[in-house]
């Protein structure tokens, strides 16, 4: 198929909800490590990794070799038969979870299913129904996961499911309480208690949150936030579910999981995306007594599939063997310092935030009003494309650039990225500047 045929066939045969970045869709033909190539043979530096999913580089040879071997040996049996790759992955995961306390896994195929499973397990364990989630969150595309999500644009299909209430997010750049950290005393966290008392039955099944809100635009709470929230959730009998679909597997630097930066022990942890490096894996891992409460008939035909389980374990081993958590911290700090420099140069950048190799720029019309700049964000995406750089977009207001390269990039890759992003920012800033004032005739 030619590039044009692919674009036309997408329009004709796919739901239009399968939307593409860019005015003219970018057709990707192949990829290797931190690069992808389009249908015209142009090479791009990929600093988005297929939506925070390429954790160890595109078409990673070590991972793919193991996958290929497994494909030739056993591709599928379903979970009604035992197989080694599934339990080998479960054992590996059990050894890495926060505090070593989450030791039983249920595998599915996506982050959405992982969160469905987590909420189901929490309801079975507690006998309670209600779930508290956060504003600006995203937890998936099923009816239940959309109801958990705190962004109107991602809640399709009319009435949300009952039983979800949304608490304040620690969106410091746009503080919902108009306060400033740290003099605010993290009131967005303490407010949760009144919210539960006034807006729920007072009996919680769970609280679910992303340690850093992904689609919300990498909203990164202050260090005390989750500890305060955790204490309140426990008072009302709820389980703490950490949605690590984006923040897991070293992405945030120095730790396996984002929640570990906050010193909080989750009861259930969910993940997907970077765990499979492109193969579809969803993980729900819980304290054993919680896992044991999910009794009765529930099945995921492809969950723990020998091939995807092999891929996921190979990804974890690769991250561990190559100390990529450390690289994410070090190269992430290097990236961050450059982003801060870009902010000093470009008034359009209102905020820089994130952890490790999960960094974001929030773009604004001007720094005083903080008016979101979604058009400029779209223009920056297009300019980056021209400069052969892939970055992500997000944020409740469509004005956040998301930067999540593979975890095994080097500082030279960051230098290359900064050149391309810097040039793209210059282009956008130039077109936005008012025409220079013409000197008055004397
Ligand atoms: N949780 C979070 C934090 C996510 O970012 C996503 C996907 N963007 C999901 C859940 C849903 O994952 P999936 O698209 O694999 O169903």
Strand (E) positions, 92-153?
104-108, 130-134
For the purposes of burial, counting CB atoms within 10 Å of the CB of 155, is it exposed (0-12), middle (13-18) or buried (19 or more)?
Answer: middle
List of residues 6+ apart from 16 with CB closer than 8 A: none
Phi-psi region of 15 (alpha: psi -120 to 50; beta: other; left: phi over 0): beta
Q: Which residue, chain included where needed, has tokens 């579910």? A: 241
Task: Measure the CA–CA gap between 325 and 315, rounded to whole angstroms.
Answer: 13
Q: Is 139 close to ligand 1, i.e. is its CB under 6 Å away?
A: yes
Q: Is 140 in the pocket of ligand 1 (CB under 6 A)?
A: yes
CB 332 within 8 A of CB 355: yes
Which atom belonging to ligand 1 lies closest to the Cα atom of 213?
A: 3
Residue 260 and residue 350: Cα distance in Å, rounded?
A: 28
What span, in angstroms and rounded, lies between the C-alpha atoms of 19 and 10? Answer: 10
- Contact in structure between 269 and 244 (CB atoms under 8 Å): yes
Taking only Cα atoms into account, the Rg of the chain, rounded to an integer number of angstroms, comes to 22
Strand, helix or coil for residue 289: helix
Would you identify the CATH topology of the domain 3-56+323-430?
3.90.1150
Q: Is the CB of 283 under 6 A from ligand 1?
A: no
CA 305–ligand 1 middle distance (angstroms): 20
Instruction: Give DSSP secondary structure letters for 349-377.
Output: EEEEEEETTEEEEEEBS-TTT--B-HHHH
Residue whose entry in the numeric block shows the structure tokens 């095994």: 408
Measured from the Cβ of residue 37, the count of other Cβ atoms closer than 10 Å reads 14
Atom 10 of ligand 1, residue of closest alpha carbon: 139
Structural domain spans, the chain: 3-56+323-430, 61-321
Residue 433 pLDDT: 66
Beta bridge partners of 243: 270
Task: State the Cα–Cα distance between residues 76 and 382, nearest whole angstrom.
Answer: 41
pLDDT score at 438? 47
**Listed residue (87, 83, 356, 307) closest to 95, CA to CA:** 87
pLDDT tens digits for 117-157? 999 999 999 999 999 999 999 999 999 999 999 999 999 99
Q: How far apart are CA 56 and CA 50, in angstroms?
A: 12
Give the H or E element holding residue 78.
none
Give me ligand 1 centre to Cα 245, in Å.
6
Are 146 and 156 contacting, i.e. CB atoms less than 8 angstroms apart? yes
List the Cα angle 315/316/318 in 5-degree steps.
Answer: 65
Q: Copy the structure tokens of residue 387.
A: 């400069």
Helices (H), ranges, 127-224: 143-148, 187-199
Which residues of the chain fall below pLDDT 50?
A: 435-442
The region that residue 21 occupies, defined by phi over 0 for left and psi between -120 and 50 for alpha, beta otherwise, is beta
Largest CA distance in the chain: 90
The sign of the torsion formed by the CA atoms of 32, 36, 38, 44 equals negative
Q: Whose CA is nearest to atom 12 of ligand 1?
A: 111
Domain 61-321 belongs to what topology?
3.40.640
**In ligand 1, which atom is closest to the CA atom of 280?**
15
Please state whether the predicted TM-score (pTM) of the whole model is above 0.85: yes
Question: Under 8 Å CB-to-CB from 136, ≥6 apart: which residues?
Answer: 150, 151, 169, 171, 213, 216, 217, 219, 396
Residue 400 in contact with residue 218, Cβ under 8 Å? yes
Q: How far is the CA of 112 from the centre of ligand 1 (A)?
A: 6
Check if 245 has its Cβ closer than 6 Å to any atom of ligand 1: yes
Beta strands in 180-308, from DSSP E residues, in sequence order = 204-209, 239-243, 268-271, 282-286
> What are the pLDDT digits (tens) for 359-379?
999 999 999 999 999 999 999
């Amino acid at each position: 198929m030619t590039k044009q045929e692919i674009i036309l066939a997408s329009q004709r045969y796919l739901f239009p909800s399968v939307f593409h970045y860019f005015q003219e869709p970018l057709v990707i033909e192949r990829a290797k490590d931190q690069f992808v190539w389009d249908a015209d043979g142009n090479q791009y530096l990929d600093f988005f990794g297929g939506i925070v999913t390429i954790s160890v580089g595109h078409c990673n040879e070590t991972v793919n070799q193991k996958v290929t071997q497994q494909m030739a040996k056993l591709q599928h049996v379903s979970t009604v038969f035992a197989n080694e790759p599934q339990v080998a992955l479960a054992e590996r995961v059990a050894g890495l979870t926060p505090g070593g306390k989450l030791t039983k896994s249920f595998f599915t195929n996506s982050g959405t299913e992982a969160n469905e499973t987590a909420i189901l397990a929490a309801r079975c364990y507690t006998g309670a129904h209600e779930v508290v989630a956060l504003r600006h969150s995203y937890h998936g595309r099923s009816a239940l996961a959309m109801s958990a999500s705190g962004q109107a644009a991602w809640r399709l299909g009319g009435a949300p499911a009952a039983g979800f209430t949304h608490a304040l997010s620690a969106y410091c750049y746009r503080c919902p309480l108009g306060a400033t950290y740290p003099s605010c005393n993290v009131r967005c966290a303490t407010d949760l208690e009144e919210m539960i008392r006034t807006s729920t039955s007072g009996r919680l099944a769970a609280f679910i949150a992303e340690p850093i809100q992904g689609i919300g635009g990498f909203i990164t709470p202050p260090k005390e936030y989750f500890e305060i929230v955790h204490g309140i959730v426990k008072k009302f009998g709820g389980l703490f579910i950490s949605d690590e679909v984006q923040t897991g597997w070293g992405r945030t630097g120095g730790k396996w999981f984002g929640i570990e930066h906050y010193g909080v022990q989750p009861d259930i942890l969910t993940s997907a995306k970077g765990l499979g490096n492109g193969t579809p894996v969803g993980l729900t891992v819980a304290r054993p007594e919680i896992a044991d409460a999910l009794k009765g008939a529930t099945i995921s035909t492809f969950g723990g599939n020998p091939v995807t389980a092999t891929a996921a374990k190979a990804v974890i081993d690769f991250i561990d063997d190559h100390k990529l958590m450390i690289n994410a911290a070090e190269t992430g700090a290097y990236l961050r310092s450059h982003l801060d420099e870009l902010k000093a140069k470009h008034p359009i950048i209102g905020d820089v935030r994130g952890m490790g190799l999960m960094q974001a720029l929030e773009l604004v019309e001007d720094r005083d009003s903080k008016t979101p700049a979604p058009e400029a964000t779209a223009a920056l995406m297009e300019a980056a494309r021209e400069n052969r750089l892939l970055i992500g977009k997000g944020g409740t207001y469509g004005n956040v650039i998301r930067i999540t390269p593979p975890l095994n990039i080097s500082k030279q890759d960051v230098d290359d990225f900064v050149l391309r992003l810097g040039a793209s920012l210059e282009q956008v800033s130039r077109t936005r500047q008012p025409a220079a004032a013409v000197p008055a005739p004397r």
